[in-house]
Chains A and B, each alone.
Chain A
Amino acid sequence: MAIGFERALSVHAQTLELRSRRAEILAANLANADTPNYLARDIDFKATLSGLSGRENALKVTHAVHMQARGSASGELLYRTPAQMAIDGNTVEEEQEKSAFADNAMRYQASLRLLGNRVQGLLSAIRGE
């Protein structure tokens, strides 16, 4: 039985990709906190991740050498609904964006730790120690 790298790592690898994508979006929001008429963006993390790893979206494999096409972890960019819009048309609420960024960073590191453990597990399986 071959060691399935894809199977062992897939969810965590996709999570990391999506987390780093979200970090980029939130950083852009924070960078534009003082830009007139800028509308804050975000992705629906849960829906995007389940869309990526969901089996109903997987391509049908009819031959042993067929590869599974993986969608890029982009996700649909949505607009955030502000609790209180600024007078210049900016919808970035710094506190919310900051806490979302910190939350995203922590979860990224959690996924990273889990992925690291998986890699360790695979390594010891390969070495057979």
Chain B
Amino acid sequence: MSLFSVFDISGSALRAQTVRLNTTASNMANVDSISSSTATTYRARQPVFAAQLDDAGDEATGVDVLGIVESQAPLRREYRPDHPLADQQGYVNLPNVNPVEEMANMISASRSYQTNVEVLNTSKQMLLRTLALGD
């Protein structure tokens, strides 16, 4: 019965969207994490999604998170000579997190999560009715 595999498919999507929400939360939390060197400054993180394919490589059996990449956008630099973490020239480095992008990302992730929960619930109903067949 292939309805059972809907649980795996939607479950993998829930997991992937959770990773996406987590990275968004991490990005938003670190939006003001000031650092003195460019190497240690926090960079915005984004998960990379890819379709999980069956053995024949034709049909999708869910979604995979391939990994999490750091944004290569330039860091923000601000002149704050009185800041304790300011460098020799009086500049501090701020993360390259774009709060507007992150909010849009968060809304999209939460909508997708809801959709997949709906799919799971509907499939559960279908299976339960099937189990009650002939009663």
Contacts and interface: CB of A to CB of B under 8 A. Distances in A.
Contact of A35 (B49, B59, B130, B135): B49
Contact of B63 (A32, A94, A108, A120): A32
Interface stretch (B34-42, B70-78, B84-92, B119-127): B119-127
B59 A20 contact: no
Interface string A105-122: 100110010011001100
A31 B13 contact: yes
B112 A33 contact: yes
B6 to A, nearest CB: 4
Main secondary structure of the interface of A (DSSP, over half): helix
Most chain B beta-carbon contacts within 10 A, residue among A21, A24, A115, A119: A24
- Bin the interface of chain B by size: 35 or more
B62 interface: yes
B58 A101 contact: no
Contacts of B51: 28, 32, 35, 38
A116 B59 contact: no
B1 interface: yes
Given A35-B50, A123-B134, A23 B13 contact: no
Nearest to B5: A24
Interface residues of A, number: 33
Contacts of A120: 134
A38 B60 contact: yes
A31 B60 contact: yes
B61 A28 contact: yes
Nearest to A73: B2
Interface string A86-129: 00000000100010011001001100100110011001000000
A59 interface: no
B24 to A, nearest CB: 13
B119 to A, nearest CB: 5
Nearest to A105: B122
- Please name the 10 residue pairs, one residue from A and one from B, whose CB atoms are nearest each other, closest first: A31-B13, A119-B134, A28-B60, A35-B49, A20-B3, A27-B6, A24-B2, A27-B9, A31-B63, A38-B51
19 contacts: A16-B130, A21-B2, A23-B6, A24-B2, A24-B5, A24-B9, A27-B119, A30-B13, A31-B12, A33-B112, A35-B49, A35-B63, A36-B50, A41-B60, A94-B115, A105-B126, A109-B129, A119-B134, A123-B134
